[in-house]
Amino acid sequence: MRAVVARRHGPPETLTLEDLPSLVPAAGEVVVAVHAAAVNFPDTLIIEDRYQLKPPLPFSPGGEVAGVVKALGQGVTGFAVGDRVIAACRWGGFAEEVIAPPDRLAPVPRGVGMAAAAALMMTYGTTHYALQECARIAPGETLLVLGAGGGTGLSAIELGKLMGARVIAAASSREKLALCRDRGADETILYTPENLRNEIRRLTQDRGVDVVYDPVGGDYAQPALRGMAWGGRYLVIGFTAGIPKLPMNLPLLKGCSIVGVFYGAFAKRFPARYAALRAQLVDWLAEGRVRPAITALLPLEEAAKALRLVAGRQAIGKIVLTTALGRGEGG
Ligand SMILES: NC(=O)c1ccc[n+]([C@@H]2O[C@H](COP(=O)([O-])OP(=O)(O)OC[C@H]3O[C@@H](n4cnc5c(N)ncnc54)[C@H](OP(=O)(O)O)[C@@H]3O)[C@@H](O)[C@H]2O)c1
């Protein structure tokens, strides 16, 4: 089977495309024949050894895929060879085969394409957990989404609307904001660290926003925190623009909370709750209530190009890689 392999840590260009032996499942494992693999920002970090997950070398990046069950290890129940599944595999997904434990698999709903299924768990899963469990967002509240034209950002627009929030999307280009509006954003901000606070004030008549969803950090975090309403919840999702340092008087003055969101740790610590949230997401995907915004389907061979686009802030929405099995299946 072919796989995109990191033999040493480094930028996307250091990855190699290799022919490797087919995978054999150990007891309790499932081998999935990959049709589609979504590209996420953490994939750009894991290959450079700048992420909290540190797989031993050599490894393939790729944290989530959709495909077909190819082989079952001893003792696996609940799945059969031939089942269409989503796998939240953490790494190994940029390959024609990947191994995952059954508790990280979910069925691909009938009528849903493999690319859309592959692009569900990491972004929408994180956001579902963030908005519902961490922020307990209520209908009518105002949600500000930073980096709103990216993978997690677009999922926050869609799920925010689904949960009844008024959504303000902030991103760095008109093209990204056009997609945000298409996906349901009520208002948009073409943001810079300098204009963000005033734009929030303008759009909320000085009241501020109830929830901030921040996958960006850097110099955007402080103006966003300053733009919060009393009792607000600031969701710390990620740091594509760097890890910010924030003055501790701000949460006091705003009476607000800063809440860390670590979806992977949540999944490990609370497997039953994780499975329940995941089942809800899969239902929403089946009903068409969430629609991953796939803007590019690239062949597996172009994994380095896809990672470069994501790391370089050029990607809009989701990029999904397809294997030979997944080609021609569409989004
Ligand atoms: N907490 C969790 O459990 C969890 C789970 C999944 C992902 N994450 C994290 O969430 C973050 C976003 O992931 P994603 O998949 O949504 O990424 P993405 O699709 O690449 O979107 C991230 C957005 O960040 C903005 N950005 C600002 N400065 C940037 C820079 N210097 N380089 C790249 N992007 C920059 C870009 O929007 P603008 O150009 O509009 O600013 C970009 O669209 C990552 O840090 C990831 O590790 C966390």
- What digits encode the pLDDT tens for the residues 237-272? 999 999 999 999 999 999 999 999 999 999 999 999
Residue identifier of the C-alpha nearest atom 22 of ligand 1: 150
Q: 315 CB under 6 A from ligand 1?
A: yes
- CA 265, CA 44: separation in Å to the nearest integer? 20
Q: Would you state the pLDDT for residue 247?
A: 97
Q: Is residue 276 part of a domain?
A: no
Average pLDDT over residues 153-181: 98
Beta strands of the chain (E only): which ranges?
A: 2-5, 16-19, 30-38, 64-72, 84-88, 97-100, 105-107, 142-145, 166-171, 187-190, 209-214, 228-236, 257-260, 294-299, 318-322
- CA 63, CA 42: separation in Å to the nearest integer? 8
How many angstroms does the Cα of residue 149 sit away from the middle of ligand 1? 9
Q: What percent of the chain has pLDDT over 90?
A: 98
Q: Residue 17: which CATH number?
A: 3.90.180.10
Q: 237 CB under 6 A from ligand 1?
A: yes
How many angstroms does the Cα of residue 287 sit away from the middle of ligand 1? 27
Q: Is residue 331 part of a domain?
A: no
Residue identifier of the C-alpha nearest atom 37 of ligand 1: 147
Q: 238 CB under 6 A from ligand 1?
A: yes
- What digits encode the pLDDT tens for the residues 52-104? 999 999 999 999 999 999 999 999 999 999 999 999 999 999 999 999 999 99
Q: How confident is the model at residue 328 (pLDDT cuts 50, 70, 90)?
A: confident
Structural domain of 250: 123-264
How many angstroms does the Cα of residue 235 sit away from the middle of ligand 1? 13
Helix (H, G, I), strand (E, B) or coil at 299: strand
Q: 215 CB under 6 A from ligand 1?
A: yes
How many angstroms does the Cα of residue 127 sit away from the middle of ligand 1? 13
Q: Which atom of ligand 1 is nearest to the CA of 44?
A: 47
pLDDT of 331 strictly over 80: no
- CA 1, CA 141: separation in Å to the nearest integer? 49
Domain count, the chain: 2
Same domain, 116 and 61: yes
Same domain, 10 and 130: no
Q: Is residue 278 part of a domain?
A: no
Q: Would you state the pLDDT for residue 327?
A: 85
Q: Would you state the pLDDT for residue 250?
A: 97
Q: Would you state the pLDDT for residue 141?
A: 98
Same domain, 100 and 145: no
Q: How confident is the model at residue 329 (pLDDT cuts 50, 70, 90)?
A: confident
Q: How confident is the model at residue 330 (pLDDT cuts 50, 70, 90)?
A: low
- What digits encode the pLDDT tens for the residues 110-127? 999 999 999 999 999 999
Q: Would you state the pLDDT for residue 266?
A: 98
Q: Which of 244, 264, 284 is the C-terminal boundary of a domain?
A: 264
Q: 51 CB under 6 A from ligand 1?
A: no
Cis peptide before 58 (omega within 30 of 0): yes
Work out whether strand 142-145 and strand 166-171 pair parallel, antiparallel, or are unpaired: parallel
pLDDT of 296 strictly over 80: yes
Q: Residue 178: which CATH number?
A: 3.40.50.720
Q: 313 CB under 6 A from ligand 1?
A: yes
Q: Which of 249, 264, 279 is the C-terminal boundary of a domain?
A: 264
Same domain, 251 and 322: no
- What digits encode the pLDDT tens for the residues 3-44? 999 999 999 999 999 999 999 999 999 999 999 999 999 999
Residue identifier of the C-alpha nearest atom 40 of ligand 1: 171
Same domain, 141 and 113: no
- What digits encode the pLDDT tens for the residues 177-199? 999 999 999 999 999 999 999 99
Q: 318 CB under 6 A from ligand 1?
A: no
Q: Nearest 5°: phi and psi at 94?
A: -85, 70
Q: Which of 246, 264, 282 is the C-terminal boundary of a domain?
A: 264
Q: Would you state the pLDDT for residue 255?
A: 98
Beta strands of 108-222 (E only): which ranges?
A: 142-145, 166-171, 187-190, 209-214
Same domain, 169 and 257: yes
Q: 129 CB under 6 A from ligand 1?
A: no
Q: Is residue 277 part of a domain?
A: no
Q: Is residue 260 part of a domain?
A: yes
